[in-house]
Amino acid sequence: MTNHNHSLTQKNILVCVGGGIAAYKVCEVVSHLFQQGANLEVILTESAQKFVTPLTFSTLARKPAYLDRDFWQPVYSRPLHITLGEWADLILIAPLTANTLGKLVHGLADNLLTNTVLASICPIIVAPAMNTEMWLQKSVQDNWQKLAQDSRYHLLHTNTGLLACDRVGKGRMAEAKEIISSIKSIIYSQGKRDLVGKNILISGGNTREYFDPVRFIGNPATGKMGIALANACYYRGGNVTFVAGNIHPDLLKLLPPMPIISVTTAQEMETAMISNFSQADITYMSAAVADVKPLHYAPEKLSKNTLPSSLPLQQVNDIVAKLGEIKQPHQKLIGFAAQTGDIITPAKEKLQRKNLDAIVANPIDKDNAGFATDTNEAVWLDRTGNMNIIKLTTKLSLAHQIIDFSLLQM
């Protein structure tokens, strides 16, 4: 397996900036893509230049940004829109205005951006931004629905919030972090939607077992792996439900629109997983769930001198084993095992004992792997005896590789 630590290295990304105040957010996207090693070209529409100067994007991308006047220059050996269209591995259009949306849907080409789109065959990500009234116009919504039917286009949702017109409503462009996450996923999958029609259930984060209102037994899992899986599945067309155990709100903001069930304890997670399990084609149990909980709970905070010197514990239900018992033949259940030392022997034993289809074993005693990191390494083990070693990579790339292996089992 290749190391996808910088999954964007040497990828050709064409960023097309439309005329809207949200253009300023695209500066952060371009800066990040450059730092990640991507090859960049930037096109600004005429109206985009009224919001952010070409110089800003040229500086961030380390090369001149293209304008409509370049389109009509005879200095290039081949037509510019053909060259750019063939060069691009992925096109991002952000902010997507109502005007450009209408042109894309009807195949119109009256500027460099729209001509380049028609001269290309790569995946296209669009991030709309406009005033709520404009966004909700029937004509705009009709165009948006039509664009959704073209498999080349990957549509980012608009957020609700304070708009530049001072009203609060729908129409805010997706944040830079969301755009970058979608770019990484779609570059990895090359735009293929191999999870369309599949229902995917994912757990992430940790559980907490309290013995008084402020103290608990827990673990340091942050939910980054679960969020990476949810993003990867979503951008490959999956219908994702996410069960979040004590995940920080800033991390949850990285999720595209999907049902999110927030839970605290193992009991709550078990209820959420079991009630959603029967609809799931693939379930990824990536949350770190407590094995034990305090036998007694004190409804008021215990003072220091009333804290017990020993804490009687009881077993918590094994959620993934329970799912393994009720699993139907068409369902795939993938567990996770965070281990120290020998990670393979205990993972193989769990795989059999809990009736899993596969297990992802990862070391938590190595640098840059395990809890709270942005990178991880793992070993994939499945029922048929396959063993795949996944070298240190980003959690998003690891998530995509886990999906690749899961689909081989379907």
Active-site positions read 165
- DSSP codes of every residue in 368-401: T-STT-SEEEEEEEETTS-EEEEEEEEHHHHHHH
Residue 17 pairs with which residues in a beta bridge?
44
Burial of 249: CB neighbours in 10 Å, binned 0-12, 13-18, 19+: exposed
Q: In what order do the strands lie in the sheet with 153-155?
A: 39-44, 12-17, 90-96, 124-128, 153-155
| Residues ≥6 apart with Cβ < 8 Å to 282 | 198, 199, 200, 201, 331, 332, 334, 406, 410
Closest CA to 116 of 144, 87, 145, 94: 87
The DSSP bridge pattern shows strands 124-128 and 90-96 to be: parallel
| Contact between 293 and 311 (Cβ < 8 Å) | no
The structure tokens 């500027």 sit at 111
The type of residue at 220 is: P
